[in-house]
Amino acid sequence: MTKKEKILFSFISNIIDDEKPDSIKILTSKDISKLIKRIEKTSTKNLSISPKINNDNSQNYDLYIVLDDINVVEADIGIIKNLLSQKIVVFSDFKEDKKIDEIMLKLGLQTELRDKTNKLKCFSYNLKTYNNKRSWNNPKGWANPENFDKFRW
């Protein structure tokens, strides 16, 4: 196992330990048998691995992981985000670095890991933590009918 794979597998294991998903989908064409052995020790009940997105599948996964050997485009990430999972982790290498960063930012994914020496970058999206509720963002903070006759702009 290479150093890059060790970093990748331990990073994914940490995510799984933190999130405790029941179902995981991994997009890859690599041999990830060592990662599967780690996942078997967790409480995950359903693990699906495939080299491409299956649009026909209507199953929703607790965690969706895309490894760096799979080339995903903006539409693919949109499908994953909107139809297949609310928690997404996408790994990429440093090819087309700026373009990938722009796409991920546009789709609301955050940079979690940036390792130039091992050419590994990770982006994540979690719907539950993406847009936290703010105290000022409520009906009470928008219109104040009691002040309508007092102030004129």
The token duo for 14 is 């940490």
Residue 122 lies in a domain: yes
> What's the CATH number where 32 sits?
3.40.50.150
Residue 78 lies in a domain: yes
pLDDT along the chain (153 residues), means of 10: 88 92 94 92 92 77 93 89 91 83 90 88 85 65 64 59
Predicted pLDDT at 137 = 62
Total structural domains within the chain: 1
User: Residue type at 20?
Assistant: K
Residue 88 lies in a domain: yes
The token duo for 34 is 């060592």
Residue 135 lies in a domain: no
Say how far apart CA 10 and CA 78 lie, in whole Å. Answer: 26
pTM (predicted TM-score): 0.81
Residue 14 lies in a domain: yes
Domain range enclosing 23: 3-128
Residue 150 lies in a domain: no
